[in-house]
């Protein structure tokens, strides 16, 4: 029975073992997102919020909730979609993203690898000896930051949830990449610099199953589509391991993220001043080296001449 109203439950929250019905769950989910925004000061009055969307369940969920909150918290909202050019994958979610934005009257900007870099991801990865996820990640982050500034956004929102964060924390731990962990948290980054638009994660304390439940109840993206390049990814193994642990020891994911939040201020402090941010010689985007990672990849592909 639903813990609050004693009607038929639709979900059992693993962290607390509480069951909730549809109506109480939707309220719980939106309230928890709101509380996360408030707790970590993710959004301020008059912010221009740009939501990075893929058309998948996480990004449409966060866009939907922020769209509901924009009048209450007095901020502006737009959406940005990066079309990497992955056959039989991105095209499907773009349709969901367009339909959602049209229905909710949200301005959507679509930026494609093909238009920006001359080739879609499917072609780029054939020209280079790097993992598709590396190429995609670097170029996507580059475009997100570039277009956030172009569209005069003050914050960039991503749909990252508790599972994504717990996975990242463990992956960095397993690979001794603690400096990269210092950039995690509900607000990403260690450096406050106008070249970087702050990234925020309003779904930070909600897990993947809760997010999928919210998306299902709101009829977002009912089709399961897997990116063809994620098959052998390290993250998938960590995800499976974490889900097995969560099933056996409920509350594991929350414990990982909460323990991490306890030490995050120390990590941010430790890695705060180590690197100076300069402008990439080629594209003028922020970089820690003479040329940024995106320009380095484009040089390797042969798009940029060295």
Distance CA 182, CA 262 (A): 12
Q: How many residues are present in the chain?
A: 306
Q: The tokens of 176 are what?
A: 């001794």
Contact pattern for another protein over residues 86 through 125, marking x by CB under 8 A? ---x---x--------------------------------
Part in contact with another protein (CB under 8 A); list of ranges 5-13, 67-75, 139-147, 184-192: 5-13
Which is closer to another protein, CB of 40 or CB of 245? 245
Residue from 56, 185, 202, 286 that binds another protein (CB under 8 A)?
Answer: 56
Contact pattern for another protein over residues 197 through 236, marking x by CB under 8 A? -----------xx-xxx--xx----x-xxxx-xx--x---
Task: With CB under 8 A as the rule, give the number of residues binding another protein.
Answer: 34
Q: The tokens of 42 are what?
A: 């993710």
Distance CA 50, CA 155 (A): 6
The helix (run of H) or strand (run of E) holding residue 11 is strand 11-13
Q: Does the footprint of another protein cover residue 140 (CB under 8 A)?
A: no
Q: Kindly give the residue spans of alpha helices, DSSP state H, lying in the chain.
A: 22-39, 57-73, 90-103, 113-117, 121-124, 132-150, 162-174, 178-181, 208-217, 234-248, 252-271, 293-301
Question: Least distance to another protein from the beta carbon of 3, Å?
Answer: 12
Which is closer to another protein, CB of 88 or CB of 259? 88
Alpha-carbon radius of gyration of the chain: 20
Part in contact with another protein (CB under 8 A); list of ranges 147-155, 192-200, 238-246, 269-277: 238-246
Part in contact with another protein (CB under 8 A); list of ranges 30-38, 54-62, 104-112, 172-180: 54-62
């Amino acid at each position: 029975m639903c813990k609050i109203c004693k009607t038929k439950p639709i979900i059992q929250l693993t962290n607390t073992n509480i069951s909730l019905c549809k109506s109480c769950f939707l309220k719980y989910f939106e309230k928890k997102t709101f509380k996360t925004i408030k707790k970590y000061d993710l959004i301020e009055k008059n912010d221009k919020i740009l939501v990075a969307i893929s058309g998948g369940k996480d990004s449409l969920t966060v866009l939907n909730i922020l769209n509901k909150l924009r009048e209450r918290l007095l901020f502006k909202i737009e959406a940005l979609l990066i079309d990497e050019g992955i056959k039989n994958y991105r095209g499907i979610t773009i349709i969901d993203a367009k339909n959602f934005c049209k229905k909710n009257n949200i301005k959507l900007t679509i930026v494609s690898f093909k238009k920006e870099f001359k080739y879609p991801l499917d072609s780029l990865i054939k020209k280079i000896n790097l993992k598709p996820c590396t190429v995609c990640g670097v170029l996507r982050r580059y475009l997100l930051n570039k277009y956030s500034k172009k569209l005069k956004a003050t914050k960039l929102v991503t749909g990252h949830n508790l599972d994504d964060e717990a996975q990242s924390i463990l992956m960095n731990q397993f690979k001794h990449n603690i400096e990269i962990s210092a950039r995690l948290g509900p607000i990403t980054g260690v450096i406050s610099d106008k070249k970087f638009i702050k990234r925020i994660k309003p779904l930070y304390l909600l897990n993947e199953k809760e997010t999928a439940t919210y998306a299902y109840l709101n009829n977002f993206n009912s089709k399961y589509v897997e990116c063809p390049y994620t098959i052998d990814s390290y993250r998938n193994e960590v995800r499976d391991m974490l889900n097995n642990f969560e099933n056996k020891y409920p509350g594991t994911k929350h414990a990982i993220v909460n323990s991490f939040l306890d030490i995050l201020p120390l990590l941010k402090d430790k890695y705060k001043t180590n690197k100076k941010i300069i402008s990439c010689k080629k594209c003028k985007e922020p970089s820690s080296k003479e040329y940024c990672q995106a320009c380095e990849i484009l040089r390797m592909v042969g798009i940029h001449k060295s």
